[in-house]
Structure 1
Amino acid sequence: MGNGIDDRAVDAQRTERLDWRFKAIPATAHGMTAEEYLGGRPPLDEFGTPLLTLDASALDHNVRLMADWTERAGVRLAPHGKTTMAPALWRRQLDAGAWGVTLANLPQLRVARAFGVRRLLLANALVDPAGLAWIGGQLDTDPDFTFISWVDSVRTAELMDEALRAARVQRAVHVCVELGGPHGRTGARDEETALAVAEAVRKAPSLRLAGLGGYEGALAHDATDEGRAAVDAYLRRLADLHGRLPYETDEPIVTAGGSSYFDQVAEVLSGLDGCEVVLRSGAYIVHDDGFYRQISPFARGADGERFRSAMHGWGRVVSRPEPALALLDTGKRDLPFDEGMPEPQLVCGAGPKAVSGARVTAMNDQHTFLEGGEVAVGDIVRLGLSHPCTAIDKWTLIPVVDDADAERPVVVDLIRTWF
């Protein structure tokens, strides 16, 4: 566990028997373990459709690129694990130097602890008494476990303290005051409220003020000058508030930074004295061919390496009911659609070739409407996708291919998710 996760627990996933529970897996693999099946280097064309895949080289590239960038920027990274909920991918990020793992709710915390993750940041408030008693038990029984959650109101601090003392938790729970913004998500809306929350934490015997947190991505959704200016203004409020908080630890953190504006976070916050700046970017490991392709800091820059999309959808043409319309056997239950429709990229019939003049116009639960393009019933269409968070959560086991651009990709790994 030198990397902050239980390697044995992660490796044990490869001994799980494959069967009907995993919709990606062909019936020919049922009864085998994942390790046994992968030993035969199965080609992707053994798998049915609908299908979601990850690309091994793109995953490796993205992990390395982000690790190198954060090191140069002088910031830490606690990637948001809720994007993938895949301990095998968390391990890649931790092996590359990640400071810890960020999560969003109690069920996700339980998954992380089941796999022995040692440093967890909950980018949310935890006021559930049963959940607080459980996390307190984790702290009391594991001296190597570090946990930090958020508070954004005096009432939150009071409820946490009441529940922790009622559960007789021995170790204090470390918390960050959360600063929000107008029309954003959670977080104290002004500095005076944030200071009052900090004072409430100081008075709570079961809590320790360990840092300051926030999320700039709730205040902008594009890379326009106006959106970036709103992010900068918010980050400067965070920087100012940092200097006013009475931290109760020698190593406080200031944490912000999703996958859209982490360059601005580093620029504004990395020079702060007396703290570690921790980014929480999560989508970067998978990236996409939609929203993040457009807004990622590396996509906005003129030079240098960029993230590569590591995910693709695959759907088979099952109907050509009209001359310009094809229906694929994949839909909203299989692929994301909340940040843009899938993008037709390749058609695999006699051999892979680029799709020209085709676009996805709509999706139903189990069908995708493809207009234009030269496709025939039986052809498989590879789709570029937008938003990894709502792609991966639809699959419990995801094939990883050696090269999604190859004429006949080979499956080299199977990634287990726990949503």
Structure 2
Amino acid sequence: MTDFAPTQPVAMLDALTKGMPGSLAPLSPAEIGSLGWNLLREDLNLPAAVLRQSALEHNSRWMQAFIALHNGRFSPHGKTTMSPELFARQLNDGAWAITLANVHQVQVARHFGIRRIFLANQLVGRQAIEYILGTLRDDPDFDFYCVADSVEHVRMLADAASRIDAGRPLQVLVEIGIPGARSGCRDTESALAVARAIHEHSPLLSLRGVEGFEGILSHSDPGELAQRVKAFLSSMREVAEQCDAEDLYGDGTVLLSAGGSAFYDIVLEELGRARLARDNAVLTRSGCYLAHDVKKYDAAHHHLAARIGQRTPGQEGPRAALEVWAYVHSRPEPGRVIIGMGKRDISYDDLPVAQQWHRPAGPGSPGPAKLSGDHQVVRLDDQHAYLNVPEDSPLKVGDMVQFGISHPCLTFDKWRAICLVDDEYNVTGAVTTYF
């Protein structure tokens, strides 16, 4: 899958790993691919999450080409997958860093040899701050960035850095926020106060740029939403340019960072308009592109494609790579099927989509068939899905049903291991997760 190997061995898989057969003796994820398993032959326990390898490879190539076309840097958000094998793929694809959301995630990434980390969050708490400063002190190859949105937080970081001599500055970006939403400075003046405080605490701290997250914005009209995103990014540019005018930045390329998995095209374009005397780079952070989905981010990509027109690296955008398969457990009514899959197995902030079904029938049985759109998940319990079906639906007990997901982040976190499969559902390997 990749020529980048994690520096530490990943966990072994065995019968205690969800989705694995009860007879499995401990094996590494790489060894799983040598067993000759096939999902459709029922070689895995269901429910099981799988990643289609062809879609992963397509999505990797697509994002590489997109970033190159728009002359940006890319730091994919690792909290989506928390998978060292997928981090490795992204770094091999040219990712500048891995973005993370908390210090537990940083510890996981560090364990597997990730050297450059962008913490798109505040670094708060004694254990967290001391861990980062101690790692900066002990590992000269560790390149770390975090954000701040208050003078009080800046002082907290500076005080810790004065006690734990890392031998170099802690690199901090000013976070710009949105009124009524989550963290981040609410206006230009408060952002500049934070930037000046970081500068005043040099050389303990170094101001390295401006950061924000536009994905928290919402509106029912895609055009109006795009305008709100642009206005937010314009406010980021204003802060970045004023910091440049006051010569507040420390050494190195100034980073202008935003871009979740929905608006990274607008981020690259709008932040790319910043006029700074210093060298600067736009750093975007999509995490969901690699797995993609069939609802939330698929819709976001269609809006993106409409915005960028011909400025895209190919006619086909990202493909859904992550699927969850489960058995029909019951058909208690003509129009209702109960599936052995629930909130413990799949994201449910937006209900999954039944896409294919398969009836295991031994060697030579036909492959999966498409399900009509009137097969709809209407509810999830912990371990069950309620699937409304037409009365002439072919589904019966023991059939296998494939579900497309929405919001990959909240499916990955339900699996300690996810098998890789080819387009015939032969198992070619596995990736592990560390949530």
Partner of 2:401: 381
Partner of 1:124: 121
Is contact 2:32–2:429 with CA below 8 Å preserved after alignment? no
Instruction: Give the Cα separation in 2 of the matches to 1:300 and 1:291.
Output: 16
Instruction: Give the Cα separation in 1 of the matches to 2:342 and 2:324.
Output: 10
Is contact 1:222–1:295 with CA below 8 Å preserved after alignment? no
Is contact 1:294–1:300 with CA below 8 Å preserved after alignment? no
Q: CA deviation at 1:8?
A: 4.6
Is contact 1:81–1:102 with CA below 8 Å preserved after alignment? yes
Q: CA deviation at 1:291?
A: 0.4
Instruction: Give the Cα separation in 1 of the matches to 2:132 and 2:172.
Output: 13
Instruction: Give the Cα separation in 1 of the matches to 2:399 and 2:288.
Output: 30
Is contact 2:117–2:144 with CA below 8 Å preserved after alignment? yes
Query: 1:233-248, aligned counterparts within 5 Å?
Result: 233-245=231-243, 246-248=248-250
Partner of 1:306: 317
Distance 1:58-1:341 versus aligned 2 partners, 3 A rule: same
Partner of 1:346: 356
Distance 1:116-1:223 versus aligned 2 partners, 3 A rule: farther
Residue by residue, what CA displacement relative to the aligned partner does 1:82-114 show, whole Å, maximum 9, x if unpaired?
000011111111111111100000100000110
Distance 1:91-1:36 versus aligned 2 partners, 3 A rule: closer
Instruction: Give the Cα separation in 2 of the matches to 1:400 and 1:283.
Output: 17
| Alignment pair present for 1:370 and 2:372 | no
2:289 to 280, 284, 289: 284
Instruction: Give the Cα separation in 1 of the matches to 2:27 and 2:111.
Output: 24
* Percentage of identical aligned residues: 37
Partner of 2:165: 168
With normalisation by structure 2, the TM-score equals 0.90
Is contact 2:118–2:144 with CA below 8 Å preserved after alignment? yes
Partner of 2:14: 19
1:157 to 146, 154, 158: 154
Residue by residue, what CA displacement relative to the aligned partner does 1:348-399 show, whole Å, maximum 9, x if unpaired?
0153211123111111000000111320011011111101000000000001
Is contact 1:29–1:37 with CA below 8 Å preserved after alignment? no
Is contact 2:77–2:99 with CA below 8 Å preserved after alignment? yes
Q: Any unmatched runs of 5+ in structure 1?
A: none
Secondary structure in 2 matching 1:66? helix
Letter of the 1:37 counterpart: I
Q: Any unmatched runs of 5+ in structure 2?
A: none
Q: Which has the larger displacement, 238-247 or 151-160?
A: 238-247
Partner of 2:328: 317
Query: 1:134-283, aligned counterparts within 5 Å?
Result: 134-205=131-202, 206-220=204-218, 224-245=222-243, 246-272=248-274, 273=276, 274-283=279-288
Is contact 1:183–1:219 with CA below 8 Å preserved after alignment? no
Q: Which has the larger displacement, 172-181 or 220-229?
A: 220-229
Instruction: Give the Cα separation in 2 of the matches to 1:165 and 1:19.
Output: 47
Is contact 2:6–2:85 with CA below 8 Å preserved after alignment? no
Instruction: Give the Cα separation in 2 of the matches to 1:196 and 1:416.
Output: 42
Q: Which has the larger displacement, 359-368 or 130-139?
A: 130-139
Is contact 1:17–1:30 with CA below 8 Å preserved after alignment? no
With normalisation by structure 1, the TM-score equals 0.93
Instruction: Give the Cα separation in 1 of the matches to 2:324 and 2:133.
Output: 41
Instruction: Give the Cα separation in 2 of the matches to 1:27 and 1:19.
Output: 8
Query: 1:110-121, aligned counterparts within 5 Å?
Result: 110-121=107-118
Instruction: Give the Cα separation in 2 of the matches to 1:238 and 1:287.
Output: 28
Letter of the 1:30 counterpart: A
| Alignment pair present for 1:327 and 2:338 | yes
- Aligned residue pairs total 408
Instruction: Give the Cα separation in 2 of the matches to 1:157 and 1:17.
Output: 41
